[in-house]
Chain A
Amino acid sequence: MNTVSESFVLAAGLVTHFDPHLVDIVFLSLRVSLTATFFAACLGLPLGAAIAVGRFPGRDALIVVLNAMMGLPPVVVGLVVYLLLSRAGPLGSLGLLFTPGAMVIAQAILITPIIAALTRQTVSDAWGEYREQLTSLGAGTYRAAMTLLWDTRFSLATVLLAGFGRAIAEVGAVMIVGGNINGVTRVMTTTIALETSKGDLPLALALGLVLIAIVLLLNSAAHATRGWAKAHFG
């Protein structure tokens, strides 16, 4: 086993030399998590806006459920998706288990409530400010929801980044439904878990550095976006 300092040096070498194995894992992680975020956004943004603007029976209960689902345990999501996609499961015929597709599904399920709940909160705050004006102008519920989604786009970009951050940092669900197959479903987090358990720290550390860099980059982007939007759009 390498010493910690040797591991750091080797890890830095892997990153700076764009080690092909490491690059493949990073790209697979990005592909899976970005795709999951896209599908979660397609569902979560309109769902959150509809709950924020709409008034219907059971709305309060739905908000409570949605907020509670933000804390969904990834391994439970992984287990449920596993059961659905396993050969004996209702979606077994799709043959998605242990593929990146299954990992996308698991991550999308995990972050859709996060995106929907944060969207609801963001749009709800805006609705409090805009409601009378939009109603006065004759905007119906659908038009108001679409207007608010667009008008809060910079805050919602942060929401999407939060969802993506949660997806790419998640390990439990993708481990179960992806199987951590080398070159097929092995992403950054599952590789880190595996390599650490094997005592092979350089690759784990290198991926950890990349993961932290991605998270830092996302937060910087969110911060910069908010600042730019405030200055340019008020």
Chain B
Amino acid sequence: MRRAGGQRRTLAETVTGLPIVLADVAAAPGGVPVLAGIDLMLDAGGRTVLLGPNGAGKSTLLRVLHGLIPPSAGWIEWGGATLRPRGQAMVFQRPVMLRRSAAENIRYALDLAGINGADADARIAEALDEVGLRALANRPARVLSGGEQQKLAFARVWALRPEVVFLDEPTASLDPAAARSVEKIIVDIHRRGTTIVMTTHNLVQAKRLADDILFLHAGRVTERTPAREFFAEPRSVEAAAFLEGERL
């Protein structure tokens, strides 16, 4: 994306990719049907947590929302466009780091977003400060611990300043202290105006972080409810059974 003056636009300046609208979306990654009949609208500013049993399709839905998996039926729009906008980021359960330093991993992401030079330097320093990895800036990313790598993945997000970030069980492989630390980073990212969409199996964490809950069962959204209401009195039988620890 280039302007007349030759300057490239950055992620923060991109045309908004919200709301994200899904209409009767189905997905079958690898030919295996996972999602069906998903109608959904995600607007700006919220913290939506996807809950549901294993195999319900949470991670697949997250990837569809992020544009990594194309729908096999139905359609999806980001801010009215059918092409995925650039103002999105995703943190995976197991972060993938390039064989370069922590700082250079962030720089790589910024470079892809068209952010270079002094602006990139400032963002890298700020992001590493935010997640507490400033001292490890020059350490090869792949020799960092699992928790540090996950924090670095969040630093990458912090530096990119996306308008929406998708988090796929971001604390699943972390110890409790690291998980709480990552939760704080998620709250900070949201405070800066980034919309959060995440999956988790941790109900306590969902209670702490969610504005609203999107409950999936067998590839379908069975309910979408404000978090307080969901945990007090879920509307669907499937969600009630899930909260009770029962298997339907």
Contact = CB atoms under 8 A, between A and B. Distances in A.
Interface residues of A, number: 19
B113 A136 contact: no
A94 B143 CA distance: 52
Interface string B85-129: 010111010011111100000001100110000000000000000
A147 B100 CA distance: 11
A234 B143 contact: yes
B39 to A, nearest CB: 25
Contacts of B109: 137
Contacts of A151: 98-100
A233 interface: yes
Contact of B68 (A132, A153, A154, A229): A132
Interface string A122-145: 000000011011011111000100
Interface in B125-168: 140-143
Given A132-B92, A136-B89, A151-B98, 6 more contacts: A132-B90, A132-B96, A133-B95, A137-B113, A138-B113, A234-B141
Interface of A: 129-130, 132-133, 135-139, 143, 147, 150-151, 153-154, 229, 232-234
30 contacts: A129-B96, A130-B96, A132-B68, A133-B95, A133-B96, A135-B68, A136-B66, A136-B89, A137-B89, A137-B109, A137-B113, A138-B86, A138-B113, A139-B112, A143-B112, A147-B98, A147-B108, A150-B99, A151-B98, A151-B99, A151-B100, A153-B99, A229-B99, A233-B99, A233-B142, A233-B143, A234-B99, A234-B141, A234-B142, A234-B143
